[in-house]
Structure 1
Amino acid sequence: MLDPTNQESNASENGNSKYVDATDGRGVGTSRRLAIDEPSLEERRRDLDDLAVWMSGLEATDLPLDDPHSLCNGRAFAELLHEIDKSFFDERWLETMPEMRTTSHLAVKRSNIRKLWRKMSDYILNVMNRRICGARWEEIGDRVDGLDETDIPVAADLAMAVTFIALVGPNQEKYVHYSKIQTAKFAKEMTSVARLVGTVIEEMPDAIEPTFLQISELHDPQSDMRFSLPESSSINGNGLPERRITSSNSVQVLVEAQLEIDALRAEKDSLQKEVDRLTKALESPPLDTPISSDTTNINRLEKQNEELRVKRLEAEERVLELEAALEQFQSAVEELTLENDALTNTQKEFNLLKTHLDTAQSDVEEWRVKANQYQSDAELVKKREKEVKKLQGQVKSLTSRLEHHVKTATIDEDNKAGMIQLKIQIERLTANNAELIVALESKKRIVEQLEIQLVRHKEKVKELEDRKDDLIAERNELENKLLFSCHRPFSEKSELPLEIENKRLAERIQELEELEPLQGEIITIKSQNGVLEKENLAATKQKEELERQVAELNDKLAKNQQQLEKANVEIEKMRESKTKAETKLTDMKKLLELRTNERDNNEVLLAKSKRIIDELEEQVHPIGEDETTSVYVYNLQQKMEKLETELNSITQELEQENRLITSAAHQQVLDRSSDNVMNMRAHAGSDEPQTLLDSQKMPGALQWSFVGLGFFLLFAYILIAIYSSINPPGQVKSLTLEHYFKTATIDNKAGMIQLRTQIGTLTADNVELNVALESKKRIVEQLEIQLIQHKEKVKDLEDRKDELENRLLYKIYHRNNNFRLEWDYTVFGKYDEILQTTCPENVGFQEHLEKDIDRMLKDKDDYFR
């Protein structure tokens, strides 16, 4: 692989280079482009692919590197330059390069490439200290035109420049090592990359080219490796003899350089020995010598040492120069031999290309003739394609209409939306009916015109027949005259009038013969008129059927509207009853709140009674065990038993009243709603109504009242028992409390009875409303089913109308072309299959289409059946 770090290598070092150095006879090197090596668009494409392989290994961008149109946006190159030198091509500059998704905006692409090239040229001039030469780098941004002929060369040039910056710039060690790794994987691509970088090095040389003398003055080892070739290494690409002369000269130079290197090495060894000897003498000086002589000797030896050091450095530099020149000459000799072989091969290839070009020109002429034929065939195919596209458009419109009808039929909407759709469909049907009426009127006008023409032709025929009769009569008279003249004597005959009359009769006969085709045309027109009249009758019948169906649909729609209005009225009534029930429920809630307030007041009174009992217990002194007798205890036990019996009786009475209330309310509800429920069942269905206990949930509604009442009675009983056992003298107060509790329980019972009756009435109303709602739901479902049926009928009518329209259009089209073919959906489907199976791009599209149409026309009787 070519070392891209050798910046002064000539284009002649690589046999694949586009430029060849030549001498003009005076030893001055000139660079010119060979006409044979002019790169083609395909070669530039291959160069771009090879450079893309090298750039993709850097993994600096996610954008495609093998697409020239996207590369001409400049963003991918900007990301690669940012990866190569992040200090110069920083993030701020990278953000100014937009990432374009489209590749058609030429103004933006050109401005991006100009911006990219300005930054790259600043880097090459200021950082790399190189000059930019060559026509390819001038106005590189203005050459982009969105075509392969312009974008591929621009993308390849920019990729070459980016690769050159990476391999020759300040960070070249990293990328040279990367190139060596890539060479093991992609040897062919890396040789092409090295060749392209070499051309860029030629077109972008150093600002000050170093010579042998300048290199000898520098001590940098890298600058020792970069020097220019002498003028004797210039190569002339005009022929093989001059190349042989330059190769022999280079061999002589190599021999002389080798001899000079050997002499310098020997001189270097002798000088090294002398330096060693002098250093040893300096390290061990004689002690008896005076100090003055020592200083003079030291100064003299130091001068000699400096001179020897300078000579040694010069010798080393000369040796390095000659070794580098030797290596370069060896590589130049190898490159010359390779170029010589390449030129012989290119000459052979050039001759082969000439022969191929001649054959290609003859083939091009033949292909031109074929292209003209194909162009004429293509025009015919285009005409057929236009017809096919028209038919495809009709098919698409029909399929879209079918899909639209299917969608409208399957959509589940509410009643009002369905009514609106029905109205819209009826309007469409009326509009289509109006269109059919207009079409029928136009057909009637055509028929009237044909009838007028037929009357005119009949009049002409009558005139011609009259004229024919007159001419026949004249012919008979003339024949009689001829016969009469034949019997007359010769002197009385006149030949000229007879000849004139014969000519006139011949002309009349010709006129009559010309009028005979008109009679055939009149017969055809009469037959066409009869067919059109039949079609007109069929169309009028279909129109009447459609009008009758539309009227039926309008009647059904009116009935549905009436049913919907009735349903809406009933729904409003149900809503009103619902509002009434809600108001009753609010009233009941208020009553419940009042009852709860009363219960709270009772609890407050109980608390007060507890306080009174406590105060009485504090006021009354306890009685000793000696004062209590068995009679007093017996009386207390009897009182307790009486209270318990009274409490049990009261609870039993309360339970019986609850049972009576529930049974009476249930019976009342059943008596009230039995007639209505039966009527609704007969009207809406035979489903069983919901029971009263399930609907009102009476146990849950009365549970709280029973619990509160039981808790209240139990608490009263406990208080009475405690008070009677602790404070027997206060029997009067205990009786008043018992009376108070009894009255409170009676009031609670009355309130509970009222509540239960009101709840029963509400639940009955609720049941009635639920039954009515279910009946109305069933009515609405039946109406929806009827609407769906009407929609399906409307859809069938529209399909029938579309079928009739297609038949009329097809008949009119083929009637105008004197082509009789009845229309049927089977024929239409067959033609659609032909359109789908055939492709306009095929060569035999026209023949295949004509064959299929002929086959379809032959089998039309089968299609009609």
Structure 2
Amino acid sequence: MAQVLHHIDGAFFHESWLSRIKEDVGENRRIKISNLKKILQGITDYYREVLNQHISEYLLPDLSQIAETSDPAEMGRLLQLILGCAVNCDKKQEHIQTIMTLEESVQHMVMTAIQELMSKDAVDSPTIEAAGDLEQQLKRSLELLQEAEAEKEELRQRCQELDLQVAGLQEERNSLLAENEVQNERLNLLDSSEEPTTIVAKKYLQIQLEQLQEENYRLEAAKDDYRAHCEELERQLIETQNRNDELASLAEESRALKDEIDFLRSAADKAAKLEATVESYRKKLEDLNDLRRQVKSLEDTNLMYMHNTVTLEEELKKANAARAQLETYKRQVQDLHTKLSMETKRADTMTYDMTRLQEKQEALVKEKEVLVLSPV
């Protein structure tokens, strides 16, 4: 990453700065974090001193996660900031042209990262409406440039397909011409008494040959049309690139105007803040007596709250004592209920035993009566 920053702007990220980045750190976490801090500080200084921008706190990556686990999300934030340096430096047009030569998938990801960075309000200072319009035009120009490249590639592939079709039709035409010559030689060898079927076959071959020639002419015309359209798209692409350069120049001018406006606004804000501070001190002096009265009232209220607190604490102690006595009564009642249940069970048992003894007695009495009445 340090080498990339040196390539982006060798004057700012000079050799002396690059030499401070230690290489071959291995698994040394402390040196990794030190290198990352130097890189992030360099990027922050570049945004502030060269691009006149200030990076918001929520855009800064967590360096400890990058050093420990190589977190993809945090690494992406750092690389996104480096990409912002590339597309905003003096050689940004060169870097944009390099981006346009990448693969379509990689190019789409890079463009998405640039748009995301621009849409996150990386600059905290106020922006003027003209600068915003120019940035929107610049975004639109980049999108049009990308669309033109995609359409150009699609037309190029279409031209290649048409060339292959034309080549195939030409081969088929040559084959038919050779076959036609063979048929003509055969027809020449025949006398004037040739059969009608041979004449019909010859006419059929001539009609088919004419149809193939017409199809060949049509494909040639379509290929020329596509080539003309491709050349028109290339011309529009060049015009879009020139317009993009003009917009980039206007964007730089708008940044300079915006910096001047920001400086004037900052001075006006400071003056307004000083006036507001003086006015607030004046009001504070005027309200000093009211504040003293409020303090006295608050002290009285605080004293009353203290008395109420002491009273409530005493009542709480009494309530706790009553609660403890109530718990004792509850335990006693529970014990009495337990004893009552046991005695009830005991009484039921005794009643059952007495019933059995009565039944046994009645049985013995009956048996005795039977024994008495029976003859000896």
Fold match by TM threshold 0.5: no
- Higher Cα radius of gyration: 1
- TM-score normalised by structure 2 residue count: 0.34
Higher relative contact order structure (alpha carbons within 8 Å, sequence separation ≥ 6): 2
- TM-score normalised by structure 1 residue count: 0.16
